[in-house]
Every structure is written in C-alpha cells, then in structure tokens.
Structure 1
Amino acid sequence: MRATLRWAHADLRTHRGEALFLVSATAGIVAALLLAAALFGYATNPWQRVFAQSHGAHVWIRTGPDADAAGLAALDGVASVSGPYRTAGVTVESRGARAGVELRGATQEPPTTGRPLLTEGQWLATGSPDGVVLESSLARALVAAPGDTLTLPGTRRTFTVRGIADSAEPRHRPGERPGTVWALPSAVRTAQDAGERPGQLVGLLLTDPYDTDYAVQRAVTRLGAGAVTDVSNWQEARAEAQSDTRLLGQVLGLFGLGALLAAALAVYGAISTRVRGHLRDISVLKAIGFTPGQVVRVFLMQHLAFAVLGALAATVLTQTLGVRIPGRLGEAVGVWQELPGHTAVLAAVPVAAVLFIGATTCLAAWRAGRVPPVPVLPAAPGAGGPLTGPARRALGLRLPPALVLGLHRAIARGPQAPAAVARLALPLMLITVALGAWTTIGRFDSRPQELGLAAALTARADAGLGDREAQALLEADDRVAAAHPGVEVAALVPGQTGTIALRGLGTRDRPYPYTVAEGRAATGPDEAVAGQGLLDLLGVGVGDWVRTTVGGHPQILHIVGRSIEPENGGRTISTSLDTLRENDPTLRATLYRLQLHPGADPGEVRAALSEASQGRLDIHEVTSPADRLSALRGVVAGLIAVLALIGLTELSAVIGGTVREGERDLLALKAIGLSPRQITAVTVVAVGCTALAAAVVGAALGVPLARWLIDAEGRSSGIGAGVASAPPTGLLALLSGAAVAGAVALSILPAARAARRRLADTLAAAA
C-alpha cells in the first residue's frame, strides 16, 4: 500500500494540470445537476404548496350571469364547490399602471375550497365596503401594496387595497388574462349594473383530480354550451406556473448529463493515454511484485479521488453559496433546501456522478492491469507508421515537412485517432447546442416577427371609443406601421371539455402577419391557422376542419396552417376579423395589435399613445418569451465554461498521447535533418489537425441536434417547431478557431521539450 501511494503521489505531481481539470470539470457537472434538481423541486413546490393549502379547485368554470352554476354541486364526482361568485370585468389603475381585472364577489369569510392565501394585509370586511384583495401576480403588475388606492379610469370610483393573496389559479398576464380582485358582493353588483361584463365563476373540487375532462363535459351539458364562457383546470394552471423554471431545470439536467458523459469519456481517454505512455513504468511495477489488481487499483483510486473531490466541492458550494446566486436560481436553491427530499437528492446526485465516472475508470484501468511485465514493442517503426503514398508525393512537391508529417501522424494513429476525435468532439458538440439555445433566445429579441411576435403593443379601447376613432388615434403616431383590429374570445373545444382562445385579427384587405411554420396563411373565408398546443389538444392537423362554440354559436374553421404561438400555450386558433363577423355582423373590435416601424421604442410609443388618447386606450407591451428566458443566458454561459473544462481535459490527454507516440519517431526525424523547431511543429500540427477534425465533427452534429432539441421543446410547450435558430457561421468558425488555437498553444511547450530530449533519453524511451 505504501508503494502504491508513493507511485500515485509521484504521478500526481507529474500531471497536476490534468488533475486540476478533472476536479474542476467534475465539480461543474455535479453543480449543474444539483441546480437542475433544485429547479425541478422549486418548479413544483410553490404552486403545489398553494394548491394544497388553499384546497384548490380542480376545475374553474365561467358562465353567464343567469346560469344555474350552484346546481353543479349535485354532479357525480364533485366533492365540493367554490362559489358561485358574481364577477365583473373592469380596468383599474395604480401609480400609472393599468390592468384588466375580474372583480369577484366574496364574503368576509374566505371560502373553504379555493381559499386565497393572504401574504400581506387583511381579508375583506363589511366595515370597508370599497376594500379589495389583489392576487399576487396582479399586485406585482400594478406595483400595489396594502393601503394603496386603485382607480377606475373614466369614473370616480376607487378601491382600497386591503391585502395581497396567493392563488392556485392561472396567473395574470397583461393584455391577455385579467387579474383577480376579490371584493364584497355589493361592489361587484355595482359594476354589473354599470354593464361591466357581468358573469359568474364556480370552482369544482373533484373526487378524482384526473377526471377533469369528464367533469367539464357533464357541467357543460347541465348548464348548456351557450352558458359557459371559459373553462380552466388545475393541470393547465400547474403547467403555466412551472413552465419557465422547469425549462431551466430541463436545460441544466440535459447538459449536466451530457457533460457527465463527456467527462467520463475524457477520464477514459486520459487513463488510456497514460497507460500507453507508462507501459515501461507499469511493467517495472509488475516486475517488483505488483499484481494486476494492484495496478488497476492505483489508477482507479487516483481518479476516484479526483471525482470525489470535485463532487464534494460542488456539493459544499451549492449548499452554502447557492442561495446567493442572483435571480431565480438562487431563489430556487433556497426553496429546495427546505423541501423534505432535499438531503436525499443532495447525497444521491454526487454519489451517482462519482459511480458513473468510477465505472468508466474501471474499464480504462483494466487495460493497465493487462500490461505484461515485459512490454512488447509495436511492429511499426514509429507511432506514425510508414509514410503513405500521398504523404510521399506531398514531400516530393516540396511542401513543408512539418505540415506533411504532422498531418500524417494525426491520421496514421490507427483506432486511437478517431477515438480521440470523438471524445474531443462531444464537448464541442454540446457547446454548439448551447450556442444554439443562446442564439434562439436572442432571436426573440432581434427578430420577434419571425417567431409569432409581429406586434409590439396591444391596445384595448374603452367601451365609449368607436372602432374608427380608436384606429385613427393609434395610426396617428408615425412610429406605428399598422394597427390591426381584432377580438379574442374563449371558445369551447369539440367535446366541450375545455376552452381555447379563438382570435380574429386583421382583415382580408390588411391581414395580420402570422408566422406560419407549416401550411399557408389563412386568406379565404372560414380559413384559420392554429398553434401547436391546439393541434395537440384536439388531435388534429393542418387540413382538418374544427368546430368550436362561442356563446352557444358554432364556428367551423378550416385549419390551413400551423402558426408559431408564444401565447396561451399555443392553444389558439386564429382567423381574420372578417370571418368572425360573417357569423356575427355586430361584432366590434375589442383589441388592436400594433406593428411598429424598425427602431421605434415600444415603451415610448406606449406612453405617447396613452397620453394622446387621454386614458381611453389601455396599452401594453407584448410579452416576449425572451423576457422569461433571460435567466437561461447565465445558465448557458456556465454550462459552456464547464464543457470547456472537459474539453481541456481531453485535449491534455490528446497532447500527451501525441507527444509520447512521437518519441519513437524522434531519432528518424533528427536523422533526416529536421531541426528541433521542425520536430516541434510536427507534433503541434498533429494536435491541431485532431482538434480541427473534432471541431468540424462537433459543429456538424451539434447544429442539427440543437435544432431538434429546441424544436422538440417548442412542440412540448405548445409554441411549436420552427423557433430554433442555428448559431451563426461566424460564431461556429470562432469556436473551431478557438479549439484549434487552444490545442496549438497548449501543445507547443510539451512538444518543444520532447524535441530537445537527449538521444540517450530517446533510446531509453524506445527500449
């Protein structure tokens, strides 16, 4: 054991850089996997905690004001009912921020089912008739806190914020989904009497949480399709609450596993290279009494120690400093540390990573145990083998000998050459995929019109503002290229088990520029385009006909294309406003999508239009997925750093193997008159060619893999395939150049040392 430790210590002193790379790479991989676990736990826990503590309803159904919603409590499978609540849609303003909200009538005692969880302030009280409680996402949008006053634009009515509450229902989305405001029934009745979009809301707590479709179908049958205006269930709310954070976790987990595989292969390559370079040392160890098992244990213990050290460092750093990471990652780690399964995951992930690396190490170390006590020299005169015909002809053309011999050495290494290229190409391929994700996120900012975000602003007009007057106000600003009138309503899907968004936008003369990824744009009567989420929900495709129900009236549309839909989970079917008016001639536009000229600032245009309309237009900036995915940029940068460390580890093994395999050619190269500088160039060219081949392979495989992964995520999220963007050619060239330049720079010093070795040392190495 003492001799084993001394040999391991001497080997470690000789290969300090390689050991540091292995420890750092393992630490980065384990940290990425732990952060992925934290994000997955964080994505599930907050919503699940609110849903459990509030006894959240599994289904929420919005109806007309005259529907018998209370009768739904008698349906089979319904354990209890929340409501029905009288509702009214209004617009409120606080500190210059506006939002469409749904006033919901509630008593001074919070309900048992679907109970809002107060986080600040107090609940409603009869002594404060104008007091309201805001849902937390709405409060953040309005920058409102308890004690603040909400005003209703165009009226003298005000509300006083008494409290802020969490809810397990779908969150407020500016310009898309109204926020929830709990108020006393008297305030809601006043709003309903004023004609502010009256309705009812009822929540159903089911005995079987996964029986939502059947429950909704029975509820719609009982109430009548014309009475139901919107349906949402707990799976949709959970998916929406988890979508952004879960995507971060998926990215971290995917790249963490890929990096773990790359690190294991790098360890395998490092040990294999060292075994080939230490054949004489291993033979001496066996000659003095080391058994094959002891030799295997030397390599295994050494690299397991590196893996354990890196895993421990990552675990300690994640546990102690993870909460200090700015943004959502730090918040996720803080929540994750309080979950019941935190300790088990914290131990399981590093152990699994170490065991995986250890299994790969065993395979490579086993080869060291098979080295005979008397090493057998290869039959070839050198590592490069005899010169091929093309190499001899190239030398005859007076090409630089270093270039020809270096390329020959890189190619003529037998099976070791493609193995080295494959191991080095894996981290470069993952880096290419990471750059593809980075480029796609940037595409939402730089070219949103290609990803379903042609409009930068959404405007909603007050009831007293006519269509022509509203459009004239919007197009009066020179920075507005087009103001497309439209309407968006909730429609019941076939089978009446849920609702989708039916959107009529633009006219046939001035169609809205949807981003069509499959099929064609809707130009004729009854033609529409649909998002991937809707196609998946209904099980239909491009070319099919779909029948939806709006307020009891059927609307039959022909899907002629699939559009990229970043909103509403892709559960949207879009046609022209003219098509919807053919079914209802009295239909008027309720919203406008504004396209701006290039270079126009949406914030400045929004402020100018709000001032020009004197508050009669409620204008919001269109939310881009890039806003929610901004945290991915930091994650991608960290993953690229980890993968670069793994690449450096593999590169050091490639350099060491190339230098050692060139020692047998050293005498021959000196005999034909090559100077030490030329001999150094031979090794450097061989390493550079290997790195260049790996970079080309990594980019060739990484670009289609990045497109496939990003489009697969787009399909699963409902946005749809077609959002992926390959990294620019210049960026890929820069990555390849950096890989080759790094390989050349790192190989110069060891190659120069080997070229200046004494003849006696060279003969000893060849013996």
Structure 2
Amino acid sequence: MRATLRWAHSDLRTHRGEALFLVLATAGIVASLLLATALFGYATNPWQRVFTQARGGHVWIHTGPTAAADKLASLDGVESVAGPYPTASAILTSRGARASVELRGTSERPAVGRPLLTSGHWLDPATPDGVVLESRLARALLAGPGDTVTVPGTARKLTVVGVADSAEPRYRPGGEPGLVWALPAAVPGPGGQVIGLRLTDPDDTDYAVQRAVTLLGAGAIGEVSTWKQARAEAQGDNRLLGQVLGLFGLGALVAAGLAVHGAIGTRIRGHLRDISVLKAIGFTPGQVVRVFLLQHIAYALLGAVAAAALTQTLGRRVPGRLGDAVGVWQGLPGHTVALFAVPVGAVLFIGATTGLAAWRAGRVPPVPVPRPAAPAGGRPPGLARRALGLRLPPALVLGWHKAFTRRLRSLATVARLALPLLLIVVALSAWTTIDRFHSRPEQTGLPTALTVHADAGLTDRETRTVLERDPQVAAAYPGVEVAALVPGQTATIALRGLGTRQDPYPYTLAEGRPARGRDEAVAGQGLLDLLDVRIGDWVRMTVGDQPQILHIVGRSIEPENAGRVISTSLDTLRENDPRLGPTLYELRLRPGADPDVVAARLTTAGNGHLDVQAVTNPADGLSALRGVVVGLIVVLALIGLIELLTAIGGTVRESERDLLALKAIGLSPRQITAITVTATGCTALAAVLTGTALGTPLAHWLIDAQSRSSGIGAGIAQGPSPTFLLLFATAAVLGATALATVPATRAARRRLADTLSAVG
C-alpha cells in the first residue's frame, strides 16, 4: 500500500495541471447535471402542486352567455364542475401598467379550480368592488392587497383584496388574459360564461370536449383550454433550460470520460518501463490497475463532492431563474436522492472509462521490452518525401508526419479532442440563435413590435389615423384573432386575419409561399402537428356557428400559442364571415425606434382608448441561457485542455527516442521543437475542422428539433458566422501550439545521456 501511495503521489506531482483540470471539469459537469435536475423539477412540480391542491379542472370551456353550460355536469366521466361563472373582458391599469383581463363572477370560493391565496383574503360582500388577482397578473400590474386598479375610459375602480395562484393558463402580455375573480355584481354586462370540468380520467380530455360540443352545439363554444396546455405553458422555458443543461452535461461527461481514457493510455505508453519494474519487484496486475483507477476516481470524487456541496449551499443564491429553481428543488421529495445519485453516476462513469484504460497497464509484461530506435512509422510516405524535395522546412514536414504516422492512435486523439470542440460549436449556435431573436426578430416570426387594441370609443378609421400619424410607425396592419374549433372538435386554435391583400402582413415563412389568393392561409408547426396536415391540404374549422375552410399554402414561424395558429388576410375572413372586423393592429416600427417610447406616445394620443402592448419575444425568457452557455463552454474548454495536454505529453515522450537521429542529421534544437509544435498544431487543426464540420449541422438539427417540438417550427437555427468560426479555429490552433512550445523546448534541449537512458 505504501508503494502504491508513493507511485500515486509521484504521478500527481508530475501531472498537477491535468489533475486540477479533471477535478474542475468533473465539478462543472456534475453541477450542470444537478442544475438540469433542479430545472426539470422546477418546471413541473410547482404547477402540479397548485393543480393538486386547487383540484384543478381538466377542461375549461368558454361559452356564450345564454348557453346551458350547467348541463355539462351530467356528462359521463365528469366528476365535478366549477361554475358556470359569468365572464367579461376588460382592461385594467395600475401604476402605468396595463393588462387585458377576464373578470369572473363568483360569490363563493370554488371547490374545483380553487384559487390558492398567496396574500390578502377572499372576496367579501362588505367590499363589493373587491377583486382577487391571479399572481402573474398581479406582478404585471405591480398590484397587491390594498391597491386600486382602474378600468380605462371609465370612472370605475376596483380594490385588490387578494392575490392567488391558479392552475389555469396564466397571464401572458399580448396573449392569454389575466384572471380576476370578483363578485357577480362587479361583472356588469357579462359577455359569456366559463365552466370547468374535473374528469374521472384525465386522459379522456379530448373525448370530454367532443361530448361537450355535441351537447351544447359548436355555435355555443367560444374557447376550450385543457390541463395539458396549462401544464406545458407553465413549464415553458424552464424545461428547455433543463434540457440544454442535461444534454450538454451528458455530452461533457462522455467527453471527460474519453479524455481520462486517453490520458491514462498515453501515460501507460510513456511509462511502460516503470510499470514493468513495478511488476518485477512484486506488484500484481490488479495492484497496477488500482493505482490508476483509485487515483482518477479520487479526482472525480473530489470534483463531484465539490459540485454537490456548492449546489446545495450556494445554488439558491444564484440570481434569476436558476436560483429559484434550486430553491424549489431543495424542497421536493426526490431532492436528496438526486443530490446523491447524479454525482455517484458521474463518478462511476469516469471510473468505468478509467478501468478500461488501466486494464492495459495490468497486461504490461514484467520484463521491459526495448523500444525500437527507429521511428515506428518507418520511412516517410511519398507525399512527405516529395514535400522535402520541394525544399519545404523539414520541421513542418516531419511534424505533420509525426502527427499522423499511427493512424488509429491519431484518429482517436483527434476524435477525443474534437468532441468538446463540437459541443462548444453547438453551444455557440444556441447563443447565436437567441441573439437572432433580438437582433433580427422579423426573421424569427416577429415582424412587428407592438400590438394595439382599441375599445369602442374609436372607430377603425380613427384608430388607423392615430397609429399612422406617429412618425416612427412604418406600417399598421389591421387584424382579428378568434378562437376556432378544430376538426373533430377536441380543441381550439387561434385563427388570425392580419393585413389586407393590398397591404399583406409580412409573415416569416419557413416553407411554402405567402397566402395571396382567396381562402389561402399559412399555419404554424403546432397546428400542422395537431391536425396532422401538411402544406397543400385544406382544413375546416368553426368559429361559433360559422365554418371557415382554408387552404394551407405555407408554414410560418409562430412563436406564440405553441404554434397552434392559422393565419390568413383580414379580407379572406370577412368574405367568409362579414361580421368580423378589426379588433387589433400590429405595428411595424421604423429602424431604431424604441417600442416603449412609441407605446407611451400612442397611449397618450389615444386618450385612454388604446391598449398598446409590446410583442412578446420568446427569447426574453431565455436570458438565463446565456450564462448557462458561458459556463458550459468553460467546462468543455477544460475537458479539451485535458485532452490537449495528453496529446502534447504523448508527442513529447515519443519524440525523445527520435532525438538522437534528428540531431545526427543536423537539426537544431529549435527545429526539433518546431517538429513537436507542428505535430500538435496539425492535431488541433484536424480536431477543430472535424468539430466545426460536425457541430454546425448537429446544432441546426438539435435547435430545429427543439423548436419543432415546441410548435414554433424548424427554421430558426442560426450558427456562428464563418468569420467567427475562423477566429475560433485560429485561436484553438494557436493556443495548442503555444501550449506545446514549453515542453517541446525542454525535450529538445535534453542532454544526450538522458536521451540514451530514455531510449534504452
């Protein structure tokens, strides 16, 4: 045991940098996997907790004010119902913030879909104008218990008496209205009603919606939302962040395992004589294997324990979503198991790869085998001889020859070094794609910057006059968005009519062509998947009791409503249903215009009749991903550095036996150094080219696959520019050659006696 510890200590002193990088890389890998676990728990558990405690409804159906919605309680499979409650649409303002809301009248706290109060108290008849706000809506309005919110254009004021969590789809600016619970008397002139159904079998949702539509009639149904849609919306970007962290964490773990495997293999080749001596003095093959195995498991264990401890103690202090996720995750039942299982799994994986490499050390014979004095690669190939005949510098030719002499070993080294570089290219592509949403939103399905809703106080002509008068408004596209029942009547989708044939809306198309003719439309990926249709198909949907039949001629990139959107011109919708008129206006601003400034100016110009909202950019919720990408790149760079140090060490050790021959033919120490540096540079260049060539299409495929599954649709992936990739490749190669210069110089200046002992 003492001899084993001495060997391990001597090896640690020789490879301190490599050991440090391995510990840091393992810590980064385990931390990323733990954060991914936390984000997955944070994405799913809070909503599930609210849904369970609130006894949330599996289906929420909005109907007309005269529909007999109470009949739905008698449907088979319906366990209990919430409502029906009268509803009315309104705009609320508070402290300069505005939000579209749904006022829901209820005299008692519901038993199904029960709002969970987070502050304040429930509605009280003693406060007839009191309301309870859904928590996300309350944050948007900067309102809490005791505050007053107003209804623009009227003298009406409402007092906030409570804030509550709900398992229904939450408020989204410019999209889903916020929920406001009020006494029935505080909901004047209700324009509809809503009823929630709690089912005995949650998977029976689609069938329950079909039966509800059959019972009430398609014309009575306004909108349908299900618990699955609410869960997906609640998970949102947190699940995506968890997937990114998990994917890169696993990829980095594989890269680290391969780097350790290569490092041990190279070290064994460089210490064959020492290992033989150990066996000659009594070391068994198992003891030799344990020397390498225990040493590297100790490194991995140190990094894993450090990552787990830091995540546990400091994780919740990380600003933003990651800190919130860790704080919630630490209170979940499976937290302790995950905190133990993830580091153990990472250490076991690194231990397995270490064992495979260390097994070779156990097979080294106890009698040293003299290494050949001549280079193992034999005579230089014809290409190298011709290059020398052209009077190219011998150092460059021999360095290239050294780098690729042993094809299998050289390919393995290039592959191990290319893997972390490949993952870095994928991470950079994710960063570039997010930047594209901000820098070029018109290419990612966001051609407009503001959405304007006008109340009954302004006509269409007056509204367009106010909008087009602003000097920074380049175009105003009138439109309407309604909920439509899909074929089969199992869900509702968003049907949009934007722009006119004379002034068409600039949709961002990924496939097909724009909708120019009558009854032509473009659809999002989510809608195509939901209806199982393709470009060229005709679809029939129902808006109230009015059918709409549209021909899909293109696929648009749709960041909203999970891509479940079909869009055509306002003219087409009005031809099919003359009752439809513009209810919103999408504004395209001039380059350099500040959306917040324009919104404030338009709100003032509208004298309280205009509700101006900035278009939600999906990349706003992914701001935490930037920090994640930076951290992942650092971890991957450490792994690449481990592999690079291994490759340099192997090249330097193999060049020692050629040192006498190179000096005998007249090469100076500087030229001998250049051979090793060139070999390292060629290996790094091959790895960079491989990683870039494979990483760029892989990044596009991964990003498009994720966007396709989220409903946005493929076509948003954006890789780094060729100039940036060229700079990245140049920096990697120059860094590798600089790193190889010092050990190569020391080896080239070794004394002949040392060289003879190394060769012998």
- Relative to the length of structure 1, the TM-score reads 0.98
The structural deviation recorded for 1:586 is 3.1
Q: Distance in 1 between matches of 2:223 and 2:471?
A: 38
Q: What secondary structure is seen at the aligned counterpart in 1 of 2:731?
A: helix
| Residue 513 (structure 2) pairs with residue 517 (structure 1) | no
| Residue 355 (structure 2) pairs with residue 356 (structure 1) | no
The structural deviation recorded for 1:370 is 1.1
Residue 459 of structure 1 is aligned with which of 445, 452, 456? 452
Instruction: Give the letter aligned to residue 82 of structure 1.
Output: A
The structural deviation recorded for 1:396 is 2.2
- Kindly provide the CA deviation profile for residues 195-222 of structure 1, in whole angstroms up to 9, marking residues without a partner as x: xxx0000000000011000001001110
Return 463-472 or 541-550, whichever deviates more. 463-472
| Residue 174 (structure 2) pairs with residue 175 (structure 1) | yes
Q: Distance in 2 between matches of 1:617 and 1:414?
A: 71
> Which residue in 2 is equivalent to 1:700?
693
- Kindly provide the CA deviation profile for residues 608-663 of structure 1, in whole angstroms up to 9, marking residues without a partner as x: 11111112111000010110111100001100000000000101100001101111
Q: What secondary structure is seen at the aligned counterpart in 1 of 2:555?
A: strand
> Which residue in 2 is equivalent to 1:195?
none
Structure 1 residues 380, 488: CA separation in 2 closer, same or farther (over 3 Å shift)?
farther
Would the aligned equivalents of 1:384 and 1:662 in 2 still touch at CA under 8 Å?
no
- Kindly provide the CA deviation profile for residues 690-746 of structure 1, in whole angstroms up to 9, marking residues without a partner as x: 001100000000000000000000000000000100111122112212211221121
Would the aligned equivalents of 2:546 and 2:577 in 1 still touch at CA under 8 Å?
no
Q: What secondary structure is seen at the aligned counterpart in 1 of 2:500?
A: coil
Residue 724 of structure 1 is aligned with which of 712, 717, 732? 717
Q: What secondary structure is seen at the aligned counterpart in 2 of 1:528?
A: strand
Identity %: 74
Instruction: Give the letter aligned to residue 41 of structure 1.
Output: G
> Which residue in 1 is equivalent to 2:53?
53
The structural deviation recorded for 1:379 is 5.0
Q: What secondary structure is seen at the aligned counterpart in 1 of 2:202?
A: coil
Would the aligned equivalents of 2:557 and 2:713 in 1 still touch at CA under 8 Å?
yes
| Residue 71 (structure 2) pairs with residue 71 (structure 1) | yes
Q: What are the equivalent positions in structure 2 for 1:52-451 lying under 5 Å apart?
A: 52-107=52-107, 109-188=108-187, 190-192=188-190, 198-377=191-370, 381-451=374-444
Q: What secondary structure is seen at the aligned counterpart in 1 of 2:282?
A: coil
Return 725-734 or 221-230, whichever deviates more. 725-734
Q: Distance in 2 between matches of 1:6 and 1:462?
A: 83
| Residue 737 (structure 2) pairs with residue 741 (structure 1) | no
The total of aligned residue pairs comes to 760
Q: Distance in 1 between matches of 2:569 and 2:621?
A: 29
> Which residue in 2 is equivalent to 1:22?
22
| Residue 8 (structure 2) pairs with residue 8 (structure 1) | yes
> Which residue in 2 is equivalent to 1:565?
558
Q: What secondary structure is seen at the aligned counterpart in 2 of 1:326?
A: coil
Q: What secondary structure is seen at the aligned counterpart in 1 of 2:60?
A: strand
Instruction: Give the letter aligned to residue 668 of structure 2.
Output: S
Q: Distance in 2 between matches of 1:385 and 1:707?
A: 43
Q: What secondary structure is seen at the aligned counterpart in 1 of 2:706?
A: helix
Q: What secondary structure is seen at the aligned counterpart in 1 of 2:278?
A: helix
The structural deviation recorded for 1:502 is 0.3
The structural deviation recorded for 1:95 is 1.1
Instruction: Give the letter aligned to residue 97 of structure 2.
Output: A
Instruction: Give the letter aligned to residue 509 of structure 1.
Output: Q
The structural deviation recorded for 1:376 is 3.0
Q: Distance in 2 between matches of 1:241 and 1:174?
A: 15
Would the aligned equivalents of 1:383 and 1:661 in 2 still touch at CA under 8 Å?
no
Would the aligned equivalents of 1:521 and 1:529 in 2 still touch at CA under 8 Å?
yes
Would the aligned equivalents of 1:383 and 1:665 in 2 still touch at CA under 8 Å?
no
The structural deviation recorded for 1:292 is 1.2
Q: What secondary structure is seen at the aligned counterpart in 2 of 1:210?
A: helix
Would the aligned equivalents of 2:174 and 2:616 in 1 still touch at CA under 8 Å?
no
Instruction: Give the letter aligned to residue 19 of structure 1.
Output: A
Residue 689 of structure 1 is aligned with which of 672, 682, 698? 682
Residue 462 of structure 2 is aligned with which of 469, 483, 503? 469
- Kindly provide the CA deviation profile for residues 35-74 of structure 1, in whole angstroms up to 9, marking residues without a partner as x: 0001001111110111011110000000000001111110
Q: Distance in 2 between matches of 1:419 and 1:386?
A: 22
Q: What secondary structure is seen at the aligned counterpart in 2 of 1:211?
A: helix
The structural deviation recorded for 1:383 is 4.6
Would the aligned equivalents of 1:383 and 1:664 in 2 still touch at CA under 8 Å?
no
CA RMSD of aligned residues (A): 1.0
- Kindly provide the CA deviation profile for residues 422-452 of structure 1, in whole angstroms up to 9, marking residues without a partner as x: 0000000000000000000000000100111
| Residue 535 (structure 2) pairs with residue 536 (structure 1) | no
The structural deviation recorded for 1:377 is 4.1
Q: What secondary structure is seen at the aligned counterpart in 2 of 1:118?
A: strand
> Which residue in 2 is equivalent to 1:662?
655
Q: Distance in 1 between matches of 2:657 and 2:536?
A: 68
| Residue 485 (structure 2) pairs with residue 487 (structure 1) | no
> Which residue in 1 is equivalent to 2:494?
501
The structural deviation recorded for 1:392 is 1.9
Would the aligned equivalents of 2:373 and 2:759 in 1 still touch at CA under 8 Å?
no
The structural deviation recorded for 1:378 is 5.0
Return 21-30 or 369-378, whichever deviates more. 369-378
Would the aligned equivalents of 1:383 and 1:409 in 2 still touch at CA under 8 Å?
no
- Kindly provide the CA deviation profile for residues 342-388 of structure 1, in whole angstroms up to 9, marking residues without a partner as x: 00011100111111111111110011111112233455712553222
Would the aligned equivalents of 1:63 and 1:199 in 2 still touch at CA under 8 Å?
yes
Would the aligned equivalents of 2:371 and 2:759 in 1 still touch at CA under 8 Å?
no
- Kindly provide the CA deviation profile for residues 288-310 of structure 1, in whole angstroms up to 9, marking residues without a partner as x: 11111111111111111111111
Would the aligned equivalents of 1:283 and 1:373 in 2 still touch at CA under 8 Å?
yes
Q: Distance in 1 between matches of 2:702 and 2:443?
A: 19
> Which residue in 2 is equivalent to 1:642?
635
Instruction: Give the letter aligned to residue 720 of structure 1.
Output: G
Residue 601 of structure 1 is aligned with which of 594, 600, 621? 594
Q: Distance in 1 between matches of 2:163 and 2:736?
A: 58
- Kindly provide the CA deviation profile for residues 485-520 of structure 1, in whole angstroms up to 9, marking residues without a partner as x: 000000001111110000000001111011110111
Q: What secondary structure is seen at the aligned counterpart in 2 of 1:501?
A: strand
Instruction: Give the letter aligned to residue 124 of structure 1.
Output: L
- Relative to the length of structure 2, the TM-score reads 0.99
Q: Distance in 2 between matches of 1:191 and 1:670?
A: 98
Q: Distance in 1 between matches of 2:380 and 2:200?
A: 78
Q: What are the equivalent positions in structure 2 for 1:582-621 lying under 5 Å apart?
A: 582-621=575-614
Instruction: Give the letter aligned to residue 588 of structure 1.
Output: G
Return 144-153 or 339-348, whichever deviates more. 144-153
Q: What secondary structure is seen at the aligned counterpart in 1 of 2:407?
A: coil
Q: What secondary structure is seen at the aligned counterpart in 2 of 1:76?
A: coil
Instruction: Give the letter aligned to residue 147 of structure 2.
Output: D
Q: Distance in 1 between matches of 2:34 and 2:396?
A: 46
The structural deviation recorded for 1:464 is 2.4
Q: What secondary structure is seen at the aligned counterpart in 1 of 2:83?
A: strand
Q: Distance in 1 between matches of 2:395 and 2:58?
A: 73
Q: What secondary structure is seen at the aligned counterpart in 1 of 2:639?
A: helix
Would the aligned equivalents of 1:69 and 1:84 in 2 still touch at CA under 8 Å?
yes
Q: Distance in 2 between matches of 1:191 and 1:141?
A: 26
Q: What secondary structure is seen at the aligned counterpart in 2 of 1:443?
A: helix
Instruction: Give the letter aligned to residue 113 of structure 1.
Output: V
The structural deviation recorded for 1:414 is 3.1
Would the aligned equivalents of 1:380 and 1:386 in 2 still touch at CA under 8 Å?
no
Q: What secondary structure is seen at the aligned counterpart in 1 of 2:736?
A: helix
Would the aligned equivalents of 2:522 and 2:568 in 1 still touch at CA under 8 Å?
yes
